Structure 1
Amino acid sequence: MITRPPESRDDEHRGARAHFLQVFLSQRSQMEALVSRRVGCRATAADLVQDLFLRFWRRPLVQVEELSTYLLRCAGNIAIDHLRSEGTRVRVNEGWRPDAPDSHGSEPQAALEAGNDLRHVEAALRALPERTRQIFLLNRIHGRKYAEIAKAMGLSQSAVEKHMMRALEACKASLREPPPRTPGKAP
């Protein structure tokens, strides 16, 4: 077996990094345009492409046949990942967002009420059985589908649906219940 001296490996590593940097910089505008078309925001696209660069720069370089094509495919994938995470965030926020305050209410009061609602929901979730809470979090926070959760937890999809109904009902009930009154205080 032939081993290369350490200097030779360092030279190869520097050469591979230089090649990667050259190809990345030559493809950057194309990657940003591709990502921008998918996510609808040039600034977000620039950030995502920069994140892609950092991912590659921090790990050992992979040997691919056509680096420029590979980078474009990775840029497309990072845009899809971003859209998925944004979709999950929107679904979670829509599920938690209280009805919009009326135009006569004040913003600080609305923020206070929203904070109270969130505390009630958190308390309701903490009171759920562990499995029900875990299923709820996997679905609503991590964006997992019922079938994925069922497979991962060794349950039927019907059981997952029942756990979700129980969790959602507990959350809704926590928002319907009037807040506990402090003795001695008038409403």
Structure 2
Amino acid sequence: MNKHPHPPPDSLVGTYINLREALVRFLTARTGSSAEAEDIAQEVFFKLQSVDPADVQNPTAFLYRLASNLFIDRLRSARRREARDDAYATSHTELSGGDLLAQTPTPEQILESRQRLQQLLAAVRSLPPQCQRVFVLHKLEGLSYGEVAVKLGISKSGVEKHMMSALKRLAEHRA
């Protein structure tokens, strides 16, 4: 017996599953990056978990609008981060003979970064083995879903399911 029945095609998740590939192509065209498109598509899936399907008149339009909004949010966030980083670099970088000198993090920043890294590594190690392999290959080694599927000898759909599971478990671990 199948432990995870397929959602009805008229549900939001069912619509998402049916449109996922088209949604990723749509996002790839906008972002210029299939990896970023995959990340946004995953984020769409997680956002769907908190949406009441009764509030959605047109699931297809809703998914594309949600994906567009998440893309725009990322774009704005990247611009803010870039402006903030430029401002920080300008105020915290010294010039020596016209050359920029490297910035040195404070001891507190180094300690905090090491602690966050250890927490992330522990969370990744807590994932089931195949889920962990998929996560490491995609997120840390930068392989596409297709490349991960070929490397591990599983379907692209299997890779997607492992990534959804990994991201969900890591988000729970972080909370």
TM-score by length of 1: 0.44
Higher Rg of the two aligned structures:
1
Structure number with higher relative contact order (C-alpha < 8 Å, ≥ 6 residues apart):
1
